[in-house]
Structure 1
Amino acid sequence: MKGIIFTEFLELVEDKFGFSVVDEIIEQSELPSEGIYTAVGTYNYKEMVSLVMNLQKQTDIPAITLMEVFGEHLFSRLAKLYPVFLNGVEDPIKFLMSLEDYIHVEVKKLYPEAELPSFDTELQKPDQLKMTYHSVRCLYPVAEGLIKGCFKHFESEVQITKNMITESGNKVEFIINKL
């Protein structure tokens, strides 16, 4: 997992809960990186899971909620850091449909070692998209937050229905309705 995911997560935690909570969750987690991340580094995704689980213990907020909020935050940060990916796009559904064939292709050019989730998309109606998430990391709440963040960026309302295709969460179908 790319370091930017970790640095943005820790920034969000500091903004919402303070530096002492960041310090606590790093200390409580067994991290091979010792919690020292660079945006361009690559780290084991299990470190993120450990950080989220320890944040859950610190805040009593469910891990799924924490990951979803992080995904929403992450979209806004990535939109600011990489505005080129949003150039000429005026609709969140069109953006989401470009994820696999454009965005992820460009990310792989920049970071060939990046292990990205994959998304199958199928336009159901002009304002309805079926998007299927696939990842061994089972971080689908982050993906759901990213979808919500995308719609917020485009100042659009969204309704998302989630269907767990596998119990583990490595394959999840989102039915996304632009309202």
Structure 2
Amino acid sequence: MKGMIFVELMNFMDESFGADFTERVIEQADLPNEAAFTTVGNYPSEHAGALVEAASLLADADAAGLCEAFGRYLFQRFEVRFPHLLHRYASARELLDHVQSHIHEEVKVIYPGATPPSVTTHECEGGYIVAYRSHRAFAHIAFGLVQQCIVFYSEHSRVEWCPDSVSDHARFIIRPGTDSDAI
């Protein structure tokens, strides 16, 4: 996994729970690099799993919920780091339609050797589906990213986790809604 994700995960924990909490997570995760990450480095995805597991235990929180919150946070960081990419699209659907063919291709140029997940979209009754597939078990992060994407484009939609979804391949249904349905 790219170091940028690890750096943002550490920032997320610092901002959400405080620096002392993050230090306890690092100690609990017992990583060989002691969580010394750089944005340009590559690290095993298992390191992220260990950090999330430790944070979940220390915060007495659901790991999936923490991953979703991190996904929302990460999209907000993308707003700051990559505004040119996000403003290229007029809607969440347009952006999500181009994750695979455009955004992840740019990721591979910026970060050679990156292996981003597969993210595809297609129509369904009453909305559209975003499908996530990866060798990494971080579908809940993707779910949070999609939720925050909807917020970024000020769309009034519901994002639903499909019941047959699991952590390495998942589907999310996005249905148009009213103001009360907005995330």
How high is the TM-score relative to the length of structure 2? 0.90
Alignment of 1:1-179 (within 5 A): 1-124=1-124, 128-165=127-164, 168-179=166-177
Q: What runs of 5+ residues in structure 2 fail to find an aligned partner?
A: 178-183
Provide Cα deviations, 1:78-123, integer angstroms capped at 9, x if missing partner. 1210111123312111111110011001111111211211012113
Is the Cα contact below 8 Å between 2:96 and 2:120 reproduced in 1? Answer: no
Amino acid at match of 2:148: G
Amino acid at match of 1:149: Q
Report the alpha carbon displacement of residue 33 of structure 1 after superposing the two structures with TM.
Answer: 2.1
Is the Cα contact below 8 Å between 2:10 and 2:22 reproduced in 1? Answer: yes
Report the alpha carbon displacement of residue 165 of structure 1 after superposing the two structures with TM.
Answer: 4.2
Report the alpha carbon displacement of residue 177 of structure 1 after superposing the two structures with TM.
Answer: 1.5
Amino acid at match of 1:158: S
Provide Cα deviations, 1:44-78, integer angstroms capped at 9, x if missing partner. 11111111111111111100000000000000101
Is the Cα contact below 8 Å between 1:165 and 1:171 reproduced in 2? Answer: no
* CA 164–2 in structure 1, closer or farther in 2 if over 3 Å, else same: farther
Report the alpha carbon displacement of residue 161 of structure 1 after superposing the two structures with TM.
Answer: 2.2
Provide Cα deviations, 1:119-140, integer angstroms capped at 9, x if missing partner. 1211337x72211110121210
Is the Cα contact below 8 Å between 1:33 and 1:43 reproduced in 2? Answer: no
Identity over aligned pairs, percent:
30
How high is the TM-score relative to the length of structure 1? 0.92
Report the alpha carbon displacement of residue 178 of structure 1 after superposing the two structures with TM.
Answer: 3.2
Relative contact order: is structure 1 or structure 2 higher (C-alpha 8 Å, sep ≥ 6)? Answer: 1
Aligned pair count?
177
Aligned alpha-carbon RMSD (Å)? 1.6
Structure 1 segments of 4+ aligned residues over 3 angstroms from their partners: none
